[in-house]
Amino acid sequence: MMARVPLIAGNWKMNKTVGEALRLVDEMLPGLQAVQGVEKLLCPPAIAIMPVAAMLEGKGIGLGAQNLHWEKDGAYTGELSTAMVAEFCQYVIVGHSERRALFGDSDLNVHRKVTAALAAGLKPVLCIGETLEQNEAGRAAEVLSAQLRAALEGVQINSAEALVVAYEPVWAIGTGKAASPEPINTLLRNVVRPTLAGLLGQELAEGVRVLYGGSVNAANAGEYFAQPEVDGALVGGASLKAADFLAITQAAA
């Protein structure tokens, strides 16, 4: 089996002005650079991408956008195209539950965004996850595999590194109610990875990083990374504090 390099991604969401973003990067940069064997990724708000890119130049830390539009250009007020993102970023978060719930990221639009990102050479961090209601109805497995199929049906990737999946139970995001690590591992092993294998083929599916996201913090991160199917984390709240994000990154090493 191909060894999967852990990935720790910070999703800053709508937090930090450009000035604050630069101070945060400055604070965490030396510590992050010192962590070996872990890929690190920062996803600041769109307006901070360019100045953060300049700070990260040559530092071995990845940069990602939080969203993009699938059309090449045109009358899409407020949107960013893949080419605009790809000028500065290697990654883009697609289908985050907040965007699905609040901004019209339907399964179809998520598919369009994944396809457009890959075509532009960007690596999508494809977010999937069930709501509390779906979880309580015992429908997590069904929802996760349906979201994966909708996003990835007919999608081609050339290498396993080209795609990252983030499993984020909606009820665990920003709530402090982190999901228990063992059931997460079971879902990833029995549902997510086999669904990926059906879509991408066994070999590529074995190499795709699958992250956990939802109230990951410095105290609980190690328990997730101890799970063989968890290849890192998509971190929201705790990525806004240098010491916390650094501790999570160190826990993955």
Considering Cα of 56, then 57, then 58, then 60, what sign does the dihedral take? positive
What DSSP element (H or E) covers 9? Answer: strand 7-11
Catalytic residue among 96, 98, 111, 229: 96
Known catalytic residue at 111:
no
Rounded Cα distance between 10 and 216, Å, is: 11
Considering Cα of 184, then 187, then 188, then 190, what sign does the dihedral take? positive
Minimum CB distance to ligand PGA, residue 177 (Å): 9
Nearer to ligand PGA by Cβ, of 126 and 200: the residue is 126
**Contacting residues toward ligand PGA, per CB under 6 A:** 11, 168, 173-174, 213-216, 234-238
Task: Judge contact between 147 and 195, C-beta under 8 A.
Answer: no
Q: What is the three-class DSSP state of 77?
A: coil
Task: Judge contact between 4 and 196, C-beta under 8 A.
Answer: no
Nearer to ligand PGA by Cβ, of 8 and 204: the residue is 8
Rounded Cα distance between 250 and 144, Å, is: 29
Minimum CB distance to ligand PGA, residue 242 (Å): 15
Nearer to ligand PGA by Cβ, of 11 and 115: the residue is 11
Known catalytic residue at 168:
yes
Catalytic residue among 39, 130, 168, 229: 168
Rounded Cα distance between 175 and 196, Å, is: 28
Minimum CB distance to ligand PGA, residue 11 (Å): 4
Find the residue with minimal CB distance to ligand PGA: 236
Nearer to ligand PGA by Cβ, of 28 and 238: the residue is 238
Minimum CB distance to ligand PGA, residue 13 (Å): 7
Contacts of 78 (CB under 8 A, 6+ apart): none
Which active-site residues does the annotation give?
A: 96, 168
